[in-house]
Homo-oligomer: A and B are copies of this chain.
Amino acid sequence: MSARLDAQMSFLNEADKLKNVIRATTLCDGSRHENSGEHSWHIALYALVLAEHAPDGVDINRVIKMLLLHDLVEIDAGDAPIFGDHDIAAMEADEAIAADRIFGMLPVDQSVELRAIWEEFEAAQTPDAIFAKSLDRFQPPNQNLMSNGGSWTDYGVSYDTIEARVGSKIERGAPVLWAWLSPKIRAWFLH
């Protein structure tokens, strides 16, 4: 029991480092960039509050667990900004190595269980993962609207780019949320 708890606590202490991974998105007040720890809290709260907008068959408790875990690999692999240019294959390889190390700190049964939830999120094929991904994409544009530009300004993106890279993924998992958000983004770009 004690060795098991030792391993779990090593993992939870390591997870603390996610609070030092900085994202492209700022807080709503624009005062600073947000980190991946507080971002993970915020979108888990999104899931809790917006559960009724999930398609039928989504288990919101699993979605919340997925969102609590979804960014842990960034402790080693860093955050890849949505509007940045990335070598996707290299990034996925880095994240797999990070997952080996970080989930590998847990007792074996739990390591397998939680890593499978993360892999399900990454694969974005199940209803839970598709909805979780849509929330992960839905939060940043809301922050950008509040902060009057945020990462849109920093990366010099257009409405069409947002629709292609972000809107398509929000719409896939949560069409109601994209229908609500897209006119607001369009209006911001016309202001």
Binding site for B on A (CB under 8 A): 1-2, 5, 8-9, 11-13, 15-20, 27-29, 31, 34-35, 37-38, 40-42, 44-46, 48-50, 53, 61, 64-65, 68-69, 106, 110, 114, 142-143, 146, 176-177, 180
Contacts and interface: CB of A to CB of B under 8 A. Distances in A.
B2 A180 contact: yes
B48 A68 contact: yes
Which DSSP category, helix, strand, loop or mixed, fits chain A's interface? helix
Contact of A16 (B27, B40, B69, B114): B27
A40 B34 CA distance: 15
B142 A13 contact: yes
Nearest to A53: B5
A4 to B, nearest CB: 8
Q: Across the A-B interface, give the 7 residue pairs with the lowest CB-CB distance, nearest first.
A: A41-B41, A37-B38, A61-B61, A38-B38, A16-B28, A19-B38, A40-B41
